[in-house]
């Protein structure tokens, strides 16, 4: 188990324009050759957008982009014609494939926080695609076969336990609350990288929400 604390993330964004970012992996000007990826996960970014702030149209390619809203509403528009408002509980996936452009904004009146995770595809190229699952149920896995990965959303009450998926590689990100995993106490923004996960469990120390990626290949 490799525990990474929220405070260890690289700061980013542009606070003057209402964008504050925290990057769990090497990103943009923060280049760290020892922290480029974990299995399929190549980015786990926590983004905070003030009302009216956002990312103007920009390109992506050869990336599976999965977004989880923590609070507020995220407006998504892309060059494939998709326009969606994403809320807490929704899982959004944009498969950039051979190339796509998109816009992400906070068009609401309240602050927006979302976690965006980028995964490397098994094979590059192809046609871009878009998917959204509204209000995904607790413990319902969301498959991203293009990256050989499965996302598990877990919501815990204080004292409740949930199994961590057994797998060759598991990436755990705490969205909110406090949990205990493998003897480590974790808070919001903390993450754990597990190789050869087996018979592990996460326990809620407070009401908590956790995202877990189960991956077969490194």
How far is it, in rounded angstroms, from Cα 11 to Cα 153?
25
pLDDT at 173: 98
Q: What is the pLDDT along the chain (218 residues), one digit of tens a residue?
A: 999 999 999 999 999 999 999 999 998 888 899 999 999 999 999 999 999 999 988 888 899 999 999 999 999 998 988 899 999 999 999 998 888 888 999 999 999 999 999 999 999 888 899 999 999 988 789 999 999 999 999 999 999 999 999 999 999 999 999 999 999 999 999 999 999 999 999 999 999 999 999 998 76
Q: For position 98, what pLDDT does the model report?
A: 85
Return the pLDDT at 138: 86
pLDDT of residue 218: 62
Whether this model's pTM surpasses 0.85: yes
């Amino acid at each position: 188990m490799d525990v990474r604390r929220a405070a260890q993330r690289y700061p980013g964004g542009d606070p003057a324009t209402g964008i504050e970012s925290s990057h769990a992996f090497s990103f943009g000007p923060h280049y760290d050759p020892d922290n480029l990826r974990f299995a399929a996960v190549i980015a786990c970014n926590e983004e905070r957008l003030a009302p009216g702030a956002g990312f103007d149209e920009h390109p992506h390619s050869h990336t599976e982009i999965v977004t989880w809203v923590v609070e507020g509403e995220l407006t998504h528009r892309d060059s494939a014609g998709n326009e969606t408002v994403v809320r807490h509980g929704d899982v959004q996936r944009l498969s950039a494939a051979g190339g796509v452009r998109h816009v992400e904004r906070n068009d609401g009146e309240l602050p927006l926080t979302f976690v965006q995770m980028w995964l490397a595809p098994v094979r590059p190229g192809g046609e871009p695609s878009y998917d959204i699952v509204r209000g995904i149920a607790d413990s319902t896995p969301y498959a991203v076969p293009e990256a050989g990965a499965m996302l598990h959303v877990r919501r815990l009450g204080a004292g409740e336990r949930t199994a961590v998926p057994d797998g060759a590689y598991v990436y755990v990100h705490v969205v909110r609350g406090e949990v205990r995993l493998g003897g480590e106490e974790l808070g919001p923004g903390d993450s754990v990288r597990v190789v050869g996960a087996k018979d592990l469990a996460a326990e809620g120390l407070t009401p908590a929400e956790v995202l877990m990626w189960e991956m077969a290949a490194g």
